[in-house]
Structure 1
């Protein structure tokens, strides 16, 4: 999925470079940066989830859970890019 996003953003940058006279390049993320993103997303999601447990707020629990789920998907993407 990240590859598709990279292709779309690269095409948009090429269009902008051609039509607007700029020189923008969209960087391709390395495995290290993807793993760091997964770790930080999981950490922040866990902290938000704990906050939701302590203050009994269902919306906060939902956002924390989504953060943890997103970290799992990001990490699986890094494993797929090997």
Structure 2
């Protein structure tokens, strides 16, 4: 899915370059940066989840849970 998003962004940049006379290049993230992003997001989301558990705040629990799901999704989308 991440590859599809990158190809859509590349197509949009190419269209803009051709039709608007610009030189826009969309950076493609390396595997190392995707993994780092997933792990850092997971750590921060875990801290948010623990805060929600400790202070019994349901909306913070939801936010932390969604962050953990997001970090898992990002990690699974890296190029093997």
Query: Please, what TM-score do these two structures have when normalized by structure 1?
Result: 0.90
**SS state at 1:27 partner:** coil
Q: Which runs of 5+ in 1 are unaligned?
A: none
Question: Are 2:9 and 1:9 aligned?
Answer: yes
Match of 2:70 in 1: 70
1:16-50 CA-to-partner distances (Å, cap 9, x unmatched) read 11222111111111110110010111011111111
Matches of 1:41 and 1:29, distance apart in 2: 16
C-alpha RMSD of the superposition: 1.0
Matches of 2:16 and 2:44, distance apart in 1: 34
Query: Please, what TM-score do these two structures have when normalized by structure 2?
Result: 0.92
1:40-66 CA-to-partner distances (Å, cap 9, x unmatched) read 110111111111112211111001001
Q: Which runs of 5+ in 2 are unaligned?
A: none
